[in-house]
Amino acid sequence: MKRFWTLIITVIIMSFNSCAVKEQLVFNEDGSGTFLVTYDMSQIMSQMGDAFQDIGPEDDKEDDEDSTEIKEKKPNTVIDSIIYFKDIFEQYKDSIAQMTDRERYEMETLKDMYMTMKMNEELKMFNYGIGLEFKKVEDLKDIQERVEKAKSFNEQGEQLDMMKEGSPMGKYMGDGDQKVDYYFTETGFSRVTTMPEKAVDDTLDLNDNPEEGDDSFSEELEGSFYSVEITFPKRIKSTSVKDALISEDGKTVSYKVNWADYLKDPKLLDISVEFENE
């Protein structure tokens, strides 16, 4: 299992060089819905080589087995799973009970979230997502922060932070400092990003003071995008995003921003939507 999580952390770090991040929101008539951020890393499958062959049921064996043993090539690995954090917390409830109040509180913020994972080695397809089924739009408060916590929810979390801080690529991975609020009413919807002062300063530094060696990472990010797709129970009359695409039924809006541009100005993902009168 340790090998599995180590691979996931490696993939998360590599994914910001050549991946597509997609934020999806689906609203129901009563204001409930689903939120899911998906990281499509199919493009890096070939870069990972045979590493993905080590993922599978056999991965639960002890990791201290003789690493020099020659292994037979495994058949195509296919994974399509959903991991619910509440199930993990139930399984380790005794350990959680020994945590500090602060640690238990942070765990509590993740209990309704889940992780999706889909992989087909032969088709070079791999993506994972962090999601939440919400009862009302207010449940999305601090969702970006919770997603960041969920992504690092494993024993390799500290390693991820160290690698981010010690690499020139770190600043291009994003840190989730910005706060995103979602508002859903009878007449419309809005996605609003608020930047804390420190995050604003860091953004300005990214724009005005590129460090030596950053150019190569910036160039690689040109092919990476952060896209947003939102589905409503009502038809859309207008949006504030000029190049946004509207579905044929008029109920889904989608748009995307280059990853490097997003890091320079996270507010580029903000949108206001007005519904048609019915």
Asked whether residue 200 falls in the same domain as residue 148, the answer is: no
pLDDT at 126: 83
Give the residue ranges of the chain where pLDDT is below 70: 1-19, 43-74, 153-177, 198-222
Q: What is the pLDDT of residues 173-218, one digit of tens each?
A: 455 568 899 999 999 999 999 987 755 555 545 555 555 445 555 5
Helix (H) or strand (E) holding 10: helix 2-15
Which of 166, 188, 211 corresponds to the end of one domain? Answer: 166
> Domain range holding 182?
168-227+235-244+258-278
Residue 176 backbone class (left: φ over 0; alpha: ψ -120 to 50; beta: rest):
left
pLDDT at 213: 43
pTM of the model: 0.73
pLDDT at 76: 74
pLDDT at 148: 84
Asked whether residue 131 falls in the same domain as residue 192, the answer is: no
pLDDT at 158: 45
Which of 127, 146, 166 corresponds to the end of one domain? Answer: 166
- Is-contact 174 145, C-beta < 8 A? no
* Contacts of 140 by beta carbon, 8 Å cutoff, 6+ apart: 35, 132, 134, 181, 182
